[in-house]
Amino acid sequence: MKNLNSLSLILGVFTAIVSSCSGPLADEKEMSNDNKEELIKRGKYLVTIGACHDCHSPKIFTPEGFDIDTTRILSGHPANDEIPKTLNTKDWVLFSNDLTAFVGPWGVSFSANLTPDDTGIGNWTFDQFRRAIRKGLYKGLEGSRALRPPMPWQMYKTMTDDDLNAVFTYLKSIKPVQNLVPPPISPTDLNK
């Protein structure tokens, strides 16, 4: 009887530990609609105050200045935009006219497509998203290249799992935009 009580206690503690370590993830099937709507709302708020649109949403120029192109929200650098001849610079950082491409000492980098299309994060898991933000890894894949500047993943890596889950849930809820962003260009390949 004593062994049975000990076994029950151990199983109870183990279950509590496992339950606390596996918090809700954005892709769980049993998420209620109310909870999902709250996550989307929170994620949209975090994406907005986190300034994700500054680099990841193409812009249009209006009489009042730059504005987000609402037809391509968070779709990254437009794949069909011509890449202008750039300067190889070690002392300056330059931005494209829609603020989605950047040149600096690292070469040229392009903002990623964050929409749920397969050319964006459509086939990503929450673990990949978390790894991309926490470790600064391309597509959140172990062994992949580092994210290029000016992506401030070093600032965002301190977000809680709950906040990352909200952002991921929001990004998975927006309109998918097919847009295969070009790969970065190394400094040695500039102006070739």
115 within some domain: yes
User: Residue for token digits 């769980």?
Assistant: 28
Q: How far apart are CA 31 and CA 97, in angstroms?
A: 41
Cis peptide before 150 (omega within 30 of 0): yes
61 within some domain: yes
User: Residue for token digits 């500039």?
Assistant: 190
Average pLDDT value for residue range 166-176: 98
Instruction: Give the contacts of 118 (CB within 8 A, at least 6 positions apart).
Output: 178
Q: For 42-73, how does the pLDDT look when each residue is reduced to its tens digit (9 = 90+)?
A: 999 999 999 999 999 999 989 998 899 999 99
Handedness of CA 168, 152, 186, 61 (dihedral sign): positive
pLDDT of residue 33: 82
Q: Which residue has the higher pLDDT, 175 or 105?
A: 175
pLDDT of residue 20: 40
25 within some domain: no
Q: How far apart are CA 192 and CA 175, in angstroms?
A: 36
Structure tokens at 8: 């029950």
Q: Is the pLDDT of residue 38 over 70?
A: yes
List, in sequence order, every residue forming a beta bridge with 66; answer none if it has no partner: 61
pLDDT of residue 112: 98
Q: 78: how many CB neighbours lie within 10 A of its CB?
A: 21
7 within some domain: no
pLDDT of residue 30: 57
Average pLDDT value for residue range 146-168: 97
Among candidates 163, 159, 171, 131, which has minimal Cα distance to 147? 131
Please report, rounded to a whole number, the percentage of residues in the chain having pLDDT higher than 70: 81
Q: What total number of domains does the chain contain?
A: 1
Q: For 68-127, how does the pLDDT look when each residue is reduced to its tens digit (9 = 90+)?
A: 999 999 999 999 998 777 666 778 899 998 999 999 989 999 999 999 999 999 999 999
Q: 59: how many CB neighbours lie within 10 A of its CB?
A: 18
- How much is the CA Rg of the chain, to the nearest whole Å? 21
pLDDT of residue 101: 95
Range of the domain at 170: 31-77+90-178
Q: Which residue has the higher pLDDT, 179 or 192?
A: 179
15 within some domain: no
To the nearest whole number, what is the mean pLDDT of the chain?
A: 85
Q: Is the pLDDT of residue 7 over 50?
A: no
Q: Is the pLDDT of residue 14 over 50?
A: no
8 within some domain: no
185 within some domain: no
Q: How far apart are CA 57 and CA 114, in angstroms?
A: 9
